[in-house]
Structure 1
Amino acid sequence: MTELSIAAEEFKLRHERVQAFLRENDLGALLAFSPPAEHKWTQTGHVAYLSGWSNYDRIVDSVVVVPVVGPAALLLTGMDFMLEQIAEVSPLQDLRLVKPVDPNSIAAHRKGDSGGPRDFVAETRAILDEAGATGKDVGIVGLGSMSVPFFESLRKGFGSQLRNIDDIVGRIRAVKTPAEVQLMRKSAALSDLGFETMLKVARPGMRGIEVIAEMERAVRREGADHAKYWMASGPSPDWCDTRLDLKPHERVLQEGDLMASCSYVVYKGYWCHGQRTGTLVKPCQELSDLYGIAREAQDAGLAQLKPGARIGDAGATIRDVGARYQFDMPGSRYGHGIGLDYSEQPVPLNDTNEQPIEAGTTVVVHSVFTLPGSGKMFVPLGDVCHITPDGPEFLMNFTRDLFLAGA
């Protein structure tokens, strides 16, 4: 096993917290499901959190079974070579290949084979037996990203023994340890690198896709699991003339253009999702005026994000500051938690959430406005923050002021 990004002792503490929950709820085991890591826009972080297997080698459905006593086990469909890959990143010793539910899954054995490994249900029952918890209920988390056939196989196999429970894994994942925050700092630094690359390479006459390609290349070269940026651009001075593309941005950039870009960067499983806005070669006063309003609203909201404060208070503050300038905030959603998943607890970050913000959580604040008159979407700033006892700490270092690319 190579050196772990998160210490083995930290994984043990995670498992112990789950086991305390199991005892409190008279459960024999927890079954935590995640789809392949590539399914990145849904929950993929539960298995990563409990096993350390967060990278893109994880191309199969997998579960971590945490019994009420004893070590956790990682169950996966797949082939023997994957066990070697897992050993490089996970402290778990109990790794078990199982038969797949999906007939398209990568696996050495197929559903219905008379030989080979057992299925997820049979292997989980074996773990219950080993823990002296035969016949106890099994709590399940990860249903939101589970396929119907997978769930049906569990329901058929466990019957009334399967219990849908509060997502204890999502809850404990929300508060990050120092080691996790350090990984998020690295992800944020890689996100910054992409934006810094944009400043250096963007020139009039280039297509947006060419700029984005250089940004993503620079970030992947430094070890990112995943790097994607989108771009918006248009002629100055009216933001309503900008075009946003998540697909390849084919527009040819011109001197003075308004620009925005947004990052989706993953490093060792941990996300950064930042957003920045500016111009190409020369500044634009009209954009500066609009941005000043959005920045004022966002900064006022960020000042509210202190441990114990109501999550909705920050949203109401952002909404009300924007409203003074006729900026609408549809849905009043201003962000979401972020970590091993693009979106995780705490959610939603909006103006109605009564829950208190917790110290140690990590969030992205990217207020979504519509401009007066036109209704054009305006999301000029996205900040990834670690909530400390004193309030939000920015994890990204790239300027929050309007950037000037190609200068």
Structure 2
Amino acid sequence: MDFVARQTKLREHLATTRFDGLLISHLPNIRYLCGFTGSAGFLLMEESGGVFFTDVRYDTQAHDEVKAAKVVVARKSVLQCVGEWLSGRRKRARGWTFGVEAEHFTLADKKRLKDLLPSGTRLQAGPSVVERARMVKDADELRRIRDAVNLGAKLFDRAVEVMRPGVKEVEVAAEMEYAARRAGADEMSFPTIVASGARSALPHGRASNRPIEPGGFVVCDFGVILAGYCSDQTRTVWVGSVSDEARRAYEAVREAQQAAVDAVRPGIAVGEVDAAARKVLRKAGLGRYFTHSTGHGVGLEIHEAPRVAAGQQERLQAEMVITIEPGVYFPGKWGVRIEDMVAVTAAGCEVLTPTSKDFLAVQSS
């Protein structure tokens, strides 16, 4: 990872703003900029360089991991250390304006830091410049994402192996998560979703103690974190004898998902990708059952910008990575969702998820 280039780009951006510095508090942004993977820290970026603050638990780790920034280890509160460090430059800092990450820096922390700073120092909401930089992945990030996607995809094979009537949803999820750990995953990207029967109509129905029953869909939505980067995939399986209605609904979702994938290319607004999926489902008479957005960015976090949703005007760029995941949900009955991760290329996109999307039925016996 080229942390020097990332920090240089941020410092160059700071030079064009009214801010004298930007305090990074969101841990994924800190990792992106300097490589720190611990759970406590702040990164202060100024035009002259960066300073990373953490506590004594991470003394050794910070000195091993942090690149292109000075490391300061707090003996007490990390935030207090930031304030005291800035106060020690009182003459220089008076009248300065520092940006904070408004979506991640709490009002309470802002007040505590403000009370520690020299009179006249201002704290204001800073630009979301790091999140915007993270939308476009570099070659190292794309490699890590591919590895995470490929590892995560193997978990579906294990799910199908153990998925039978009478087996509990949570038992299927446990088998998938155990397989992920054995394969080297850091952890799961999010709590594994295995939702069967009427629960498959819950878009985020986490695995429960409910036994799987024949005559319904099972939605499996899962992902892993590998070397810090996330995967995200959904496949839907039918259990038992298949009805024509179920097959039609599944095929409509698959067609909608493919239409959205086909729409992905540099320059297109993400709202148009969302519209491509909705058009297919409306034509099939299922439009009102598609109740969420079509996708989102993925990287160091499972949900990143851009949001692929109706009316969103962000335009795709090459090397962005997004999900395409339309679904239909019939409350009290069942639901279907199909999700792939795709990388935007110069000519269109590459589907990263290798798993087949053909209709799959697991028999009762």
TM-score tier (shorter): 0.7 to 0.9
CA offsets 1:48-106 (integer angstroms, 9 cap, x no match): 1112123xxx233x211122023x22212x32x412223444334522223xxxxxxxx
How far is the alpha carbon of 1:326 from its aligned partner? 2.0
- Provide the residue aligned with 1:69 in structure 2: 48
- Provide the residue aligned with 2:302 in structure 1: 342
Distance 1:118 1:262 in 2: 41
1:211 to 163, 172, 180: 172
Distance 1:127 1:160 in 2: 11
Does residue 106 of structure 2 align to residue 123 of structure 1? Answer: no
How far is the alpha carbon of 1:387 from its aligned partner? 0.9
Distance 2:218 2:3 in 1: 42
SS at structure 1 position matched to 2:6: helix
How far is the alpha carbon of 1:365 from its aligned partner? 1.8
- Provide the residue aligned with 1:103 in structure 2: none
Question: Alpha carbons of 1:336 and 1:260: their partners in 2 closer, same or farther (altered >3 Å)?
Answer: same
SS at structure 1 position matched to 2:337: coil
- Provide the residue aligned with 2:315 in structure 1: 356
2:3 to 11, 16, 31: 11
- Provide the residue aligned with 1:252 in structure 2: 211
Distance 1:68 1:83 in 2: 25
How far is the alpha carbon of 1:369 from its aligned partner? 3.2
Are the equivalent residues in 1 in contact too, given 2:194–2:220 (CA < 8 A)?
A: yes
- Provide the residue aligned with 2:224 in structure 1: 265
How far is the alpha carbon of 1:217 from its aligned partner? 0.7
- Provide the residue aligned with 2:326 in structure 1: 367
Does residue 42 of structure 2 align to residue 59 of structure 1? Answer: no
Distance 1:213 1:127 in 2: 53
Does residue 360 of structure 2 align to residue 400 of structure 1? Answer: no
How far is the alpha carbon of 1:361 from its aligned partner? 1.0
TM-score scaled to structure 1, two decimals? 0.79
Query: Bigger shift: 253-262 or 189-198?
Result: 253-262
Question: Alpha carbons of 1:280 and 1:124: their partners in 2 closer, same or farther (altered >3 Å)?
Answer: farther
Are the equivalent residues in 2 in contact too, given 1:368–1:377 (CA < 8 A)?
A: no
Distance 2:121 2:333 in 1: 51
Q: Which residue identity does 1:151 align to in structure 2?
A: K
1:322 to 256, 275, 281: 281
Distance 1:311 1:136 in 2: 38
Are the equivalent residues in 1 in contact too, given 2:195–2:206 (CA < 8 A)?
A: no
- Identical pairs, percent: 23
- Provide the residue aligned with 1:230 in structure 2: 193
Are the equivalent residues in 2 in contact too, given 1:140–1:162 (CA < 8 A)?
A: yes
Distance 2:290 2:221 in 1: 20
TM-score scaled to structure 2, two decimals? 0.87
Does residue 37 of structure 2 align to residue 94 of structure 1? Answer: no
- Provide the residue aligned with 1:171 in structure 2: 132
State the Cα RMSD in Å: 2.9
1:298 to 257, 260, 284: 257
1:192 to 139, 147, 153: 153
CA offsets 1:147-189 (integer angstroms, 9 cap, x no match): 3321222333445522322211111111000100111111112
SS at structure 1 position matched to 2:285: coil
Contiguous gaps of at least 5 residues in structure 2 = none
